[in-house]
Structure 1
Amino acid sequence: MNQNRSVARLLYAEEIDMGGMPLRQPLPTGQVEQHDPFLLLHHHTTTVLQSDYLYKLGVDPHPHRGFSPVTFVYQGGVHHRDSRENDSVVYAGGTQWMNAGRGIVHSERPPLEMQEQGGVQEIVQVWVNTPKALKMEQPAYFALQAEDTPTTTENEGRVQIAVVAGNYKAITGPVSTPGPVMALRLTLQAGGQCAIPIPADHNAMLYLLDGQVMLEGYGLVDALNLALLNQDGETCTITAHQDTRLLFLSGKPLDEPLAMHGPFVMNNQTEVMQAMRDYQMGKMGMLFE
């Protein structure tokens, strides 16, 4: 019988203000810098009002280097544009995965129709670190819609699992990641149960957008909590006590030095300073909206 992983930490998603944008952040905290290779998790929900200032809402053009900002869209949509001429809208149930590599400039905004008509936008963004050997590779962008995400149902239809990246049982996610990562989007009805197999060399964590679940060997976990799992088992068995939306992530830890400054994630401060200079000199490209 596979042993269930124990819970190392339970982190509540406190509300913070990021440049006037309220969002919830369970990772990082003052005590937990990362859950290698996962650096950050933001959960943001906003009501988009009809606007006369189209494409002024959302996040303005900004640079990244050295990691993958990943956006899981739960309601509404996200319009991504970048300095590599990628231009796409991902809607609810879809995922944007951008390997920033050596550098890219992008913006993230509600789609045009949401700005014209209004609506609710809900996203979870996760930052996934890139191995040192691949940080200066060319950037890559993946726009994965809900209908293109392989999905399976279990437990008589009470559990739905969408595989974004990595391997879940016999299903392989479409997104190519710089390091070994598994990303699953779960929707569980009350009473639904599933056992998620976890690669032995991966760190793993799960975030509840809403609802409540029982983690076997631990106990109840409520909405807006991030559970960091220990590397002491092969499985995570989840039973929903309420209807729950849940994001499950695992990845092989990099075990490398970490130097972060704003949108740059490198291995030392010299590399961070070089990233800042390269951005200022236009080496990451330009994005004009």
Structure 2
Amino acid sequence: MKNRTVERLLYAEITDMGDMPVRQPFPTQQVGQLDPFLLLHHHIAELPEDAIPGKAGVGPHPHRGFSAVTFVYRGGVHHRDSRGNNSVVYAGGTQWLHAGMGLVHSERPPHDLQEHGGVQEIVQLWINSPAAHKMDQPSYQALQAEDTPVVESEDRKVRVQVVAGTYQVATGPIKPVSPVLALRLTMKATGVCQVPLPENFNAFLYLLDGSIRLEGYGLVEGHYAVMLHRDGEGVTLTATEDTRVLLMAAAPLDEPVASHGPFVMNNQTQLMQAMRDYQMGKMGILIED
């Protein structure tokens, strides 16, 4: 297999999102989106013993025009939205929210987080929706760890959770609005993982920790994202120490992007309409219980 070459190596600098410190490898001043991937946040927080879960996390806020995907690595996330969805996904699980025409949602620590160690670690990724699906009815998919297909290497050093798309014999249960491959890799030192990629897909890796050797490139350490050229059949990783890696690939949309805060549309007129619709209550109201 011919391995893809590296287009960019991006360090996930810490930035403040409200009161929450997050690591953000992209977008940066130098790099915008990797079509259709718009933004990545890696967040770790310990819930204080006296914290009220219903007041922690991120309160009600709107979205339109893209999918907000949350990969839960430690703890859990309690999702509620103005369409009536209400569920908690725990470590190893994934929440896939296609905002479509718009809704209001919140993301809180679950009430039993302290029982799970009190630490919450998530990666949230925004994936742009094609113009044809930006005004779809919103949809929410909750995938727990035990319902996520796993492919394990013969030496047990590589474990791949298949969230969306197909890897080897496994197909992920999540059904995105456009083709996406979403893999969560857990690798022990010296483990090797080879992932074929469709030639027309954009792809990137994000290392939550540890380090890997990328075939044809070299060492990549934790808290770095690797954007890949579309010039090969896939990618080969060798863990140089224990590591967790998120691998994402998707067909680029090749459409204009107009964004403002939680709205991602194709032009300024649509953005203005999104703001008006939200202010008029057309995205619904979320009253948290």
- TM-score in terms of structure 1 length: 0.98
**3-state SS of paired residue (2:107):** strand
1:52 Cα offset (Å): 5.5
1:171 Cα offset (Å): 1.4
1:168 Cα offset (Å): 1.1
Distance 2:38 2:263 in 1: 12
1:116 Cα offset (Å): 8.0
Call closer, same or farther: CA 1:100–1:9 in 2, change over 3 Å: same
Call closer, same or farther: CA 1:170–1:117 in 2, change over 3 Å: closer
> 1:129 maps to which residue?
128
**Matched residues, percent identical?**
63
Distance 1:169 1:260 in 2: 36
Q: What stretches of structure 2 of length at least 5 have no aligned partner?
A: none
Return 45-54 or 210-219, whichever deviates more: 45-54
Q: What stretches of structure 1 of length at least 5 have no aligned partner?
A: none
1:131 Cα offset (Å): 0.3
> Aligned pair 1:102/2:109, yes or no?
no
> 1:222 maps to which residue?
221
**3-state SS of paired residue (2:209):** coil
CA contact (8 A) 2:44 2:121 kept: yes
* Corresponding pairs, count: 288
1:50 Cα offset (Å): 2.0
Return 46-55 or 101-110, whichever deviates more: 46-55
1:114 Cα offset (Å): 1.9
**3-state SS of paired residue (2:32):** coil
> Deviations for 1:228-249, whole angstroms, at most 9, x for unmatched residues?
0000001100000000000000
Matching residue's letter, 1:211: G
Which residues in structure 2 correspond to 1:1-289 (within 5 Å)? 2-51=1-50, 53-114=52-113, 119-289=118-288
**3-state SS of paired residue (2:15):** strand
Distance 2:197 2:51 in 1: 48
Name the Cα RMSD after superposition: 1.1
Matching residue's letter, 1:258: V
Distance 1:199 1:210 in 2: 26
Distance 1:108 1:61 in 2: 8
Distance 2:165 2:115 in 1: 37
> Deviations for 1:109-131, whole angstroms, at most 9, x for unmatched residues?
00011268861000000000000
Q: Where do 4+ consecutive residues of structure 1 move more than 4 Å?
A: 115-118
Distance 1:160 1:132 in 2: 35
1:170 Cα offset (Å): 2.3
Distance 1:32 1:154 in 2: 35
Matching residue's letter, 1:30: Q
**3-state SS of paired residue (1:211):** strand
CA contact (8 A) 2:77 2:108 kept: yes
Distance 1:222 1:77 in 2: 26
Call closer, same or farther: CA 1:132–1:242 in 2, change over 3 Å: same
Distance 1:86 1:50 in 2: 28
Distance 1:4 1:264 in 2: 36
Matching residue's letter, 2:112: E
